[in-house]
Amino acid sequence: MLMILTHSSTFTFAGLLGVSEPTYDLSVGMQLHCQIVKLRLYYTNFTGNTLITMHSKFHLIEEAEMVFRLIVERDVISWNTLISACCHCDDKSEVLSVFREMVMDTNVKANDFTYASVLSAAAGLASMCHGRKEKEKFSGCLVADVFPYRFLL
């Protein structure tokens, strides 16, 4: 098997990572990742995006971002893959940070998928902010103040 992998292309590894993904076996994915690094195939969008997705499935967002930074020519799909990984890991502020970097520092144009992901993250942050404000309203409230209204629940 190893002999076959040493003569493989980025498409081979992307396919293998895709096949191993449903089993959610991190050790297999990490072995493939190591082999990709040894063969210096991680610089391509195709393999890099697949690795980002694999790492995000295990909530390893730092590793996913590290792979993203190694991709030489990042296109909108690469940016969307990282944004989607941040969404999957429930890191809404990082979604907005990555989007801001994409818009400000690159010539890559956002597409519908980008905007949908960013809007979803922004809505989640707005909900969290609203929830904090509501909590602050009721944090000074005594149990005795709420007791007469318990029948409304």
Distance CA 125, CA 109 (A): 24
Distance CA 150, CA 11 (A): 60
Is residue 28 predicted with pLDDT exceeding 80?
no
Block residue for tokens 């940070």: 97
89 pLDDT band (50/70/90 cuts)? very high
7: phi then psi, degrees, rounded to nearest 5: -110, 30
Chain segment 102-150, per-residue pLDDT in tens: 999 899 999 999 999 999 888 888 776 645 655 555 455 444 444 443 4
For residue 128, what pLDDT is reported?
67
Distance of CA 96 to the CA centre of its chain: 12
Element (H, E) at 120: helix 112-139
Q: Judge whether 141 and 109 are in contact, CB under 8 Å.
A: no
Distance CA 8, CA 89 (A): 31
49 closest CA partner among 18, 82, 27: 82
